[in-house]
Amino acid sequence: MVIRVSDLDDDGLTIEDVAALPSPYTDRGWRLDGLRLHVERDGQDVFIRGHLLSTVPRVCGRCLENLPVRVRADVDVHFVPRPATGDAVELRADDLDLCLYEKDQIDLNAVIESETTLALPMKPLCRDECRGLCPSCGANRNLNACGCDTRPPDPRLTVLKDLAARLSP
């Protein structure tokens, strides 16, 4: 969905219908479950505030099983028009939080996708007590217990093991 900045009225625009954004994500596996966004204009500046609810397929960071991750993203984005090319613009620390728009248009799908991506967990887990994979045999320890030693030998001691093997008759 593309928003024309000049078409925004004084009350702004509120979007609460998921059907208004049929496919906001480039990855077809991602699903937008709910949203409430308010877009308002102040001169040439545009503010988008609200929240998103999405479901994103991920992989557990411990056992590598597929899982759907529910994502809630709070949106607070400030857009300003892109300066004309050739103009030297010096950025201040406050400017790092700004987004730029061109040709009087803001792509709302790009905003939704970037805000959802930023809200994804760094290391998703299928459950808090996930036991992960066995480092020796690779079995999923959530499904079955393997007979592997849970404490692998300290790699720093392999030199002593080799020495003991050479010294034994």
Q: What is the pLDDT of residues 133-160, one digit of tens each?
A: 988 788 898 988 888 876 767 788 888 8
**Other CB atoms within 10 A of residue 24 CB:** 22
- Ranges of beta strands (E only) in the chain are 2-4, 13-15, 31-42, 45-59, 66-81, 98-101, 105-107
Give alpha helix (H) positions in 83-147.
108-119
Higher pLDDT, 129 or 89: 129
- pLDDT, mean over the chain: 85
Residues 45/6, Cβ–Cβ less than 8 Å: no
Question: Model-level pTM?
Answer: 0.74
The string of pLDDT tens digits covering residues 61-85 is 999 999 999 999 999 988 887 777 6
Q: Are strands 98-101 and 66-81 parallel, antiparallel or unpaired?
A: parallel
